[in-house]
């Protein structure tokens, strides 16, 4: 059985992820403005800053994965579903519900990040953009 402390630990990590995701959005907006100005120095700077935040997000995800790896397979599956924000049904405890809500907020922000990234990537890379290559 997953303890409330485990849910709280995941929620704390998810909150840090939320902060980083919002930072990525801000940096992506700044990057987009630098692309519009054709300011290559700023473009490189914002790309570097975004990479740092994305690496931070990767480390947070690794923390969540390690937490799940320490649980029984059944509990790990539940915690993974809650952390993904895709859990359907009623969360088992108020602490689990708080985790689910935070994970769902993160998914919403992540979708905004993806859309902003696609827009700036297409403007920056044109037909060589990651997103253009993905469609082919």
Work out the average pLDDT over 13-27: 98
Of residues 65, 87, 62, 71, the one with CA closest to residue 2 = 71
- Flag whether 53 is in a domain: yes
pLDDT digits (tens, 9 = 90+) for 62-114: 999 999 999 999 999 999 999 999 998 899 999 999 999 999 999 999 999 99
- Flag whether 52 is in a domain: yes
Q: What is the pLDDT of residue 102?
A: 98
Q: How many domains does the chain have?
A: 1
Of residues 101, 98, 102, 93, the one with CA closest to residue 75 = 93
Work out the average pLDDT over 22-51: 97
pTM here is 0.91
- Flag whether 48 is in a domain: yes
- Flag whether 127 is in a domain: yes
Alpha carbons 134 and 136: distance in angstroms, whole number: 6
pLDDT over threshold 90, residue 125: no
Q: What is the CATH number of the domain that holds 31?
A: 1.20.58
Q: Tell me the CA end-to-end span of the chain in Å, nearest whole number.
A: 46
- Flag whether 136 is in a domain: no
- Flag whether 23 is in a domain: yes
pLDDT band, residue 133 (cuts 50/70/90): low
The more confident residue out of 134 and 89 is 89
**Structural domain for 97, as ranges:** 4-84+91-131
The more confident residue out of 88 and 126 is 88
Q: What is the pLDDT of residue 87?
A: 94
- Flag whether 75 is in a domain: yes
Alpha carbons 89 and 124: distance in angstroms, whole number: 42
Q: What is the pLDDT of residue 98?
A: 97
- Flag whether 104 is in a domain: yes
Q: What is the pLDDT of residue 136?
A: 52
């Amino acid at each position: 059985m997953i303890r409330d402390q485990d849910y709280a630990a995941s929620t704390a990590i998810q909150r840090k992820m939320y902060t980083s995701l919002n930072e990525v959005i801000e940096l992506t907006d700044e990057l987009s403005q630098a692309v519009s100005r054709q300011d290559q120095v700023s473009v490189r700077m914002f790309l570097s800053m975004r990479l740092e935040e994305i690496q931070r997000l990767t480390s947070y995800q690794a923390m969540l994965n390690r937490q799940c790896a320490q649980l029984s397979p059944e509990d790990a599956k539940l915690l993974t579903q809650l952390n993904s924000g895709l859990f359907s049904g009623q969360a088992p405890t108020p602490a689990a519900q708080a985790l689910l809500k935070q994970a769902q907020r993160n998914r919403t922000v992540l979708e905004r990040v993806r859309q902003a990234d696609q827009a700036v990537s297409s403007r920056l890379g044109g037909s060589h953009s990651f997103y253009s290559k993905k469609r082919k």
